[in-house]
Amino acid sequence: MVVRALRDEGVKYIYGYPGGALLHVYDALFQQEDVQHVLVRHEQAATHMADAYARATGKAGVALVTSGPGATNAITGIATAYMDSIPMVVITGQVMSYLIGEDAFQETDMLGISRPIVKHNFSVTRAEDIPEIIKKAFHIAESGRPGPVVVDIPKDMTAPTERFPYEYPKSVKLRSYSPVTKGHSGQIKKAVDMLLGAKRPIIYSGGGIIMGDASAELIELAQLLNFPVTNTLMGLGGYPGTDRQFVGMLGMHGSYEANMTMHHSDLVLAIGARFDDRVTNATDKFCPTARIVHVDIDPASISKTIQADVPIVGPAKVVLEEMIQLVKASKKQPDAEAIASWWKQIDEWRSRHGGHYRTDDSELMKPQQVIEMLSKVTNGDAYVCSDVGQHQMFAAQYYKFNKPNRWINSGGLGTMGFGFPAAMGVKMNFPNEEVVCVTGEGSIQMNIQELSTCSQYNIPVKIICLNNQSLGMVRQWQDMNYEARHSHSYMDSLPDFKKLVEAYGHVGMKVEKYSDLENAMREAFAMKDRLVFMDIMVDPFEHVYPMQVPRGAMRDMWLSKTERT
């Protein structure tokens, strides 16, 4: 029943790991071919694969894990999806229903453990409810503000003694759940009026544009108005990275021009972004002269950390469409002169500090150079799945994303170990696209066992490991705030990654000189059907800049080890 429901939902791949509580389900999987199961080497990887599929397509990915340790291994992956509002359905096995609560073998209270990190969870108490519950799980995961949903299924529910007619519902209705489908027209009018009157505006967009499939509408509105656009870490690709109106990412490691533009603006149009603390810096100093229009599908995101002047609850795509119509129909024109002088100011900021790093004072390869090379070699078109650390920030800053859904990373939870399984999940579903995992020598070791899964299913991702021989992001904070006391932030006794991946049957490369980088990278990408691990030795002392000064305003930044705004 579980497998049939998944098939009828149109699921092609599920990622999982078997165990006692799931034996009936695995037996059903064995006897059909519609739903293909991918056997991972650790349940966390299964959840990240499902999650990344969702990030790339907007549709819920599916993971299948057994009770007890299988379920708890999935927790990090569920929390990762939850923090970034990613649709996912995680099916967890459970002990026999009559054993629940007795500390039975491999029993954990998965409903209780997962409760704070799911959009919703279900427990099956009657076998005949399975199709409807699975339908509801997908509906809840994918609609409104997306999120992970757990379905906990006791073993006896998957082998009922009676037979039931099976029917997969076409749609479901829940009386207590009806996400908004449209924004409030009066509020939208008011917002458009403010947009047209603004002299120093900026559009600040986030993950809601990516998951809400609203990139085209965002581009149209921004270009219609000639407003600058900044993206959050989760929103990259929502607006083309190489376009003149794009001022870069904002926030803690945002660009100088993005943070300056935000700070000095008189109007912030926030869409599908949640004013995270990594974005706002100190909330009491945030954008002191700006009025805020906030569009979000989740009313709880609005005025949570920053009070909105015009709140609009609705899907970004629909609200933007309405805004575009209103702007086009309006007699009022944007103040071209004010906008032109605003651009002059922004361009001046851009030329002063835009995207510079030093290459001259050291022989070592800079991580930024590697990402720029990657962007060049892949024409800015690859799916880039990142791990967490300095390499993630360099990838966000220096890879120019021109399309949505191609920058895949863990922003809210910051889960090291996410990048590699994420790349696998994307590659399986887009076999003809370039899929890259950008990682560090620390992060990659958190799910390195998946090299084995890649051999089994032939998943030829490219792994770009920026090897700085340290937990660079931690080390940077220690340099800046703890007088360079590097407590446990170095990586002693690293493996020989080249030999390691070769042992799994893949191709390994080690690159130590910048002059070798381009050729090596081109060679790696030419091997279309091989997994290639590029172990690239980079400057271990490099820091990520800009970096906002703690408890400061948006504009308060370190621009290098010695310069401050």
Partner 1 sequence: MRHIISVLMENEPGALSRVVGLFSQRNFNIESLTVAPTEDATLSRLTVTTIGDDRVIEQITKQLNKLIDVVKVVDLTEGEHIERELMMIKLKASGQMRAEIKRTADIFRGQIIDVTPTTYTVQMIGSSEKLDAFITSLGAASIMEVVRSGVSGIARGEKVLSL
Ligand X SMILES: Cc1cc2nc3c(=O)[nH]c(=O)nc-3n(C[C@H](O)[C@H](O)[C@H](O)COP(=O)(O)OP(=O)(O)OC[C@H]3O[C@@H](n4cnc5c(N)ncnc54)[C@H](O)[C@@H]3O)c2cc1C
Nearer to ligand X, 18 or 147 (CB): 147
Q: Does 395 bind ligand X (CB under 6 A)?
A: no
DSSP 156: G
Mention every residue, 6+ apart, whose C-beta is less than 8 A from residue 263. Answer: 287, 288, 553, 554, 555
Q: Which residue has the tokens 């399975």?
A: 130
3-state secondary structure of 318: helix
| Number of chain residues interacting with Mg ion (CB under 5 A) | 5
Q: Does 472 bind ligand TPP (CB under 6 A)?
A: yes
Q: Does 392 bind Mg ion (CB under 5 A)?
A: no
Q: Is 456 a catalytic residue?
A: no
CA 210 to mean position of chain CA atoms: 10
Q: Does 472 bind Mg ion (CB under 5 A)?
A: yes
CA 15 – CA 326 distance, rounded (Å): 45
CA 191 – CA 527 distance, rounded (Å): 51
CA 169 to mean position of chain CA atoms: 31
CA 36 – CA 322 distance, rounded (Å): 41
Look at residue 120 and give the partner it binds from ligand X, ligand TPP, partner 1, none, a contact being a CB closer than 5 to 8 Å depending on partner kind: partner 1
Question: H-type helices in 163-214, by residue range?
Answer: 185-197, 207-211
The phi and psi torsions of 315 (rounded to 5 degrees) equal -70, 135
Q: Does 421 bind ligand TPP (CB under 6 A)?
A: no
The one-letter amino acid code at 97 reads S
CA 417 – CA 533 distance, rounded (Å): 15
CA 515 – CA 365 distance, rounded (Å): 9
Q: Does 252 bind ligand X (CB under 6 A)?
A: yes
Task: Give, as ranges, the residues between 425 and 444 that touch Mg ion (CB under 5 A).
Answer: 440-442
Look at residue 440 and give the partner it binds from Mg ion, partner 1, ligand X, none, a contact being a CB closer than 5 to 8 Å depending on partner kind: Mg ion
- Dihedral angle at the C-alpha atoms of 19, 446, 394, 358, nearest 10 degrees? -170
Nearer to partner 1, 112 or 165 (CB): 112
Residue nearest to Mg ion (CB): 440
Look at residue 176 and give the partner it binds from partner 1, ligand TPP, ligand X, none, a contact being a CB closer than 5 to 8 Å depending on partner kind: partner 1
Task: Kindly indicate which of the ranges 16-24, 213-221, 457-465, 469-477 contains the residues binding Mg ion, using the contact rule CB under 5 A.
Answer: 469-477
Q: Does 68 bind Mg ion (CB under 5 A)?
A: no
Contact at 8 Å (CB) between 99 and 107? yes
Catalytic residue among 119, 135, 136, 155: 155
CA 360 – CA 534 distance, rounded (Å): 24
Q: Is 105 a catalytic residue?
A: yes
Q: Does 189 bind ligand X (CB under 6 A)?
A: no
Look at residue 371 and give the partner it binds from Mg ion, ligand TPP, ligand X, none, a contact being a CB closer than 5 to 8 Å depending on partner kind: none
Q: Does 74 bind ligand TPP (CB under 6 A)?
A: no
Catalytic residue among 12, 32, 102, 105: 105
Q: Is 155 a catalytic residue?
A: yes
| Number of chain residues interacting with ligand TPP (CB under 6 A) | 20
Catalytic residue among 9, 43, 257, 542: 43
Q: How far is the CB of 561 from ligand X (least distance, A)?
A: 18
Residues of this chain that bind ligand X (CB under 6 A)? 84-85, 145, 206-208, 211-212, 232-235, 249-254, 272-274, 276, 278-279, 296-298, 301, 315-316, 388, 392-393, 411-412, 414, 473
